[in-house]
Structure 1
Amino acid sequence: MDGPLKNLLVVDLTRVLVGPYCTMILSDLGARVIKVEAPEIGDDSRKFGPFIKDYSAYFMSLNRGKESIALNLKNSEDKKIFDKILSKADILVENFKPGTLEKWGYGWKDVNKKYPKLIYASASGFGQTGPLKELPAYDMVVQGMGGLMSVTGQPNSEPTRVGTSIGDITAGLFTAIGINAALYDRQKTGKGMFIDVSMLDCQIAILENAIARYLAKNEIPKPMGSRHPSIAPFEAFKTKDSYIIIAAGNDRLFEKLCELLAMPEISKDPKFSDNSSRAKNMDELKIILEKKLASRSTSEWVKDMEKEKIPCGPIFNIKEAVENPQVDARNMIVKAFHKEIGDFKLAGNPIKMSTYKDEKTRGDIPDLDEHREKILKEFT
Structure 2
Amino acid sequence: MEQQHQRQPLAGIKIVDLTRVLSGPFCTALLSDLGAEVIKVEPPGGDEYRHVGPFEQGESALFTLMNRNKKGVVADLKNPGHLARLLELVREADVLVENFKPGVAERLGVGFAAIKAINPDIIYASISGFGQQGESSGLPAYDLVVQAMSGIMAITGEPDGEPTKVGESIADLAAGLYASWAILAALFDRQRSGEGVHLDIAMLDCLFSLMPTPVAQWMFGGEAPGRVGNRHPLSTPFGSFNAADGRVIIAVLNNRQFAALCAVMGRPGLAQDARFGSDEARTRHEPALRDLIESWLSGHSVASAIASLAAAGIPASPVLDMGEVLARARQGERRLLRTQRHARLGEIPMMTQPVRASAWASPAPATAPALGEHDAELFRP
For the residue of structure 2 that corresponds to 1:235, the secondary structure is strand
- Residues 30 and 352 in structure 2, CA contact (< 8 A), matched pair in contact too: no
Indicate which of 21, 38, 48 corresponds to 2:26. Answer: 21
Correspondence for 1:49: 53
CA distance in 1, matches of 2:257, 2:351: 33
* Structure 1 position 302, deviation (Å): 1.5
Measure the CA separation in 2 of the matches of 1:303 and 1:326: 24
Deviation (angstroms), 1:106? 1.4
2:135 maps to: 131
Whether the aligned pair in 2 keeps the contact of 1:336 and 1:365 (CA below 8 Å) is: no
Residue 365 (structure 2) pairs with residue 362 (structure 1): yes
| Cα RMSD after superposing both structures | 1.5
* TM-fit CA distance, 1:338: 2.1
Greater alpha carbon shift after TM alignment, 117-126 vs 304-313: 304-313
Give, in whole Å, the separation in 2 of the partners of 1:325 and 1:117. Answer: 40
Deviation at 1:255, TM superposition (A): 1.1
What is the CA distance between 1:301 and its match in structure 2?
1.5
Q: Could you tell me how far apart the structure 2 residues matched to 1:13 and 1:288 are?
A: 56
Q: Which runs of 5+ in 1 are unaligned?
A: none
Q: Deviations over 1:247-303 (max 9, x none)?
A: 111111111111122211111111112111101101100000000011111111222
Map 1:273-292; keep pairs closer than 5 Å.
273-292=277-296
- Residues 81-138 of structure 1 show CA distances to partners (whole Å, capped at 9, x for unaligned) of 1111111111101100001110122111121122111100010011101101111100
Structure 1 counterpart of 2:359, one-letter code: T
Give % identity.
38
Gaps of 5+ in 2: 1-5
How do 1:1-380 and structure 2 match up within 5 A?
Answer: 3-39=8-44, 41-324=45-328, 328-359=332-363, 361-376=364-379
Q: Is the 8 A contact 1:331 1:348 kept in 2?
A: no
Letter in 2 for 1:162: V
TM-score, length of structure 1 as denominator length: 0.96
Q: Is the 8 A contact 1:9 1:33 kept in 2?
A: yes
Q: Secondary structure at the match of 1:224?
A: coil
Deviation larger for 19-28 or 262-271: 262-271
Q: Aligned partners of 2:149 and 2:312: how far apart in 1?
A: 42
Query: C-alpha displacement at 1:348, in angstroms?
Result: 2.7
| Worse overlay, 187-196 or 297-306 | 297-306
Inter-partner Cα distance in structure 2 for 1:211 and 1:133? 24
Range that drifts further, 286-295 or 302-311: 302-311
8 Å contact from structure 2 (residues 123, 196) kept in 1:
yes
Q: Contact 2:275/2:285 (CA < 8 Å) preserved in 1?
A: yes
After superposition, the C-alpha distances for 1:57-87 in whole angstroms (9 at most, x for unaligned) are 1111111111110001111111121111111
Deviation of residue 304 (structure 1)? 2.4
Letter paired with 2:244: K
Q: Is the 8 A contact 1:151 1:223 kept in 2?
A: yes
SS of the equivalent of 2:282 reads helix
For the residues of structure 2 that align with 1:6 and 1:22, how far apart are their CA atoms?
A: 16
Q: Per-residue CA shift, 1:324-365, capped at 9, x if unaligned?
A: 279632110112232111122122321111111333x21122
Instruction: Indicate conservation of the 8 Å contact 1:64/1:336, yes or no.
Output: no
Question: What SS does the corresponding residue of 2:101 show, helix, strand or coil?
Answer: coil
Q: How many residues align?
A: 376
Counterpart contact for 2:11–2:37, Cα < 8 Å? yes
Q: CA-to-partner distance for each residue in 1:6-62, whole Å, 9 max, x for gaps? A: 1101111000000000001001111111000001x1100001111111111111111
Check the 8 A contact 1:337/1:365 in 2, yes or no: no
Structure 1: distance between partners of 2:332 and 2:349: 12
- In 2: Cα distance, 1:346 partner to 1:293 partner: 38
- Structure 1 residues 24 and 298, CA gap change in structure 2 (3 angstroms): same
Asked whether the equivalents of residues 330 and 336 of structure 2 are also in contact (C-alpha less than 8 Å), the reply is no
CA shift at 1:2, angstroms? 5.1
Please give the secondary structure, in 2, of the residue aligned with 1:120. Answer: strand
Q: Find the aligned partners of 1:78 and 1:305 in 2 and give their Cα distance.
A: 63
Deviates more, 1:141-150 or 1:221-230: 221-230
Pair 102,356 (structure 1): closer, same or farther in 2 beyond 3 Å: same
Q: Distance between the aligned counterparts of 1:85 and 1:307, measured in 2?
A: 59
Counterpart Cα distance in 1 of 2:7 and 2:105: 32
